[in-house]
């Protein structure tokens, strides 16, 4: 009764660019392999700082317009990754970037941080019931690094997964669907430490002057917490191109990049995950869909 591909992956992110930085190689790989890859981005990233001087007028304290501009960057990034299904939670502009924790924008009307959790989750329930993903990827409860929109994206994703599976909940939003595996974005500490050691050696040759610290990287955990790694070596160029498409936010010099703070960071082309819902593997998985019986997962 369905024309959906066998394997279906849903990613929930806070701002345009988070998906390419965290999961660009993973998304490109699964899209190339014919899986359904659906990205839901919760805000337009209106509060982001603008790197190119020629686009500085887009900033919220100048003319504005950064949000719609970033929607265009996201569309260009998705082309680079081969991902055709990308959506904004509740529609483009439904939720606004809340800014960093503690700023007045957190409480402004329309700020994602202030949105009612179940209202926001309902919009995601409809997506989950439509695309019926076996795998969900999002942030940990701290959003990886404490940004309110990232924390809220986590909460909305978790709540929506729960509600989507509840056969008594809002049948007008579609037939119930239970997600088999839920992952958080991770970076194993040893991988991060080694990458920053290489970065400090390479720095004199780079167009960047200073290095970030491992503490600046979201989702760093002890190696033992990491259950899954996706080797995206074959998709490194696609990931770098997708990151470059977010030109207001990112400058790339492979295999490094900077955000608006101009502190160099490693661009990881092997991407790491922690499985938090679903049977925890004995050894590290190399496939987000490992262990999923496709026919069973497809059955109602
Ligand atoms: Zn973000």
| CA 217 to ligand 1 centroid distance, Å | 12
Q: What is the pLDDT of residue 293?
A: 72
Q: What is the pLDDT of residue 300?
A: 45
- State the pTM of this model: 0.96
Determine if residue 6 is labeled as part of a ligand binding site: no
| CA 190 to ligand 1 centroid distance, Å | 24
| Helix residue ranges per DSSP H, the chain | 18-32, 66-81, 117-131, 148-165, 189-202, 236-245, 294-298
| CA 286 to ligand 1 centroid distance, Å | 26
| CA 46 to ligand 1 centroid distance, Å | 11
Cβ atoms of residues 240 and 197 within 8 Å: no
Q: What is the pLDDT of residue 279?
A: 85
Determine if residue 123 is labeled as part of a ligand binding site: no
| CA 193 to ligand 1 centroid distance, Å | 22
Q: How many residues does the chain have?
A: 300
DSSP-based three-state secondary structure for 91 = coil
Q: What is the pLDDT of residue 296?
A: 54
| CA 21 to ligand 1 centroid distance, Å | 10
Low-confidence residues of the chain: pLDDT under 50: 1, 297, 300
Q: Which residue has the tokens 């955000």?
A: 259
Determine if residue 246 is labeled as part of a ligand binding site: no
| CA 18 to ligand 1 centroid distance, Å | 5
Beta strands in 217-282 (DSSP E): 220-221, 228-231, 251-253, 256-258, 263-266, 270-277
Q: What is the pLDDT of residue 30?
A: 98
| CA 14 to ligand 1 centroid distance, Å | 5
């Amino acid at each position: 009764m369905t024309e959906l591909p066998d394997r279906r992956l849903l990613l929930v992110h806070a701002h345009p660019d988070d998906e390419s930085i965290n999961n660009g190689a993973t998304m490109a790989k699964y899209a190339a392999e014919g899986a359904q890859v659906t990205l839901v981005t919760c805000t337009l990233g209106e509060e982001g700082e603008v790197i190119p001087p020629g686009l500085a007028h887009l900033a919220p304290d100048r003319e504005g317009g950064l949000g719609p501009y970033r929607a265009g960057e996201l569309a260009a990034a998705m082309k680079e990754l081969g991902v055709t299904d990308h959506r904004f939670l509740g529609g483009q502009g439904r939720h606004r970037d809340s800014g960093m924790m503690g700023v007045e924008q957190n409480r402004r009307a329309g700020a994602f941080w202030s949105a009612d959790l179940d209202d926001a989750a309902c919009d995601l329930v409809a997506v989950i019931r439509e695309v019926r993903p076996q795998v969900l990827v999002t942030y940990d409860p701290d959003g990886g690094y404490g940004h309110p929109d990232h924390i809220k994206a986590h909460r909305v994703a978790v709540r929506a997964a729960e509600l989507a599976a509840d056969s008594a909940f809002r049948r007008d939003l579609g037939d119930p669907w239970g997600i088999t595996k839920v992952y958080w974005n991770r970076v194993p500490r040893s991988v991060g430490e080694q990458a920053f050691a290489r970065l400090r050696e390479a720095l004199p040759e780079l167009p960047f002057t200073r290095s970030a610290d491992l503490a600046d990287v979201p989702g760093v955990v002890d190696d033992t917490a990491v259950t899954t790694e996706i080797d995206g070596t074959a998709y490194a160029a696609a990931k770098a191109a997708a990151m470059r498409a977010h030109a207001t936010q990112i400058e790339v010099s492979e295999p490094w990049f900077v955000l608006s703070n101009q502190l160099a960071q490693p661009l990881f082309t092997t991407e790491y995950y922690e499985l938090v819902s679903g049977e925890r593997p004995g050894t590290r998985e190399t496939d987000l869909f490992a262990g999923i019986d496709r026919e069973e997962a497809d059955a109602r």
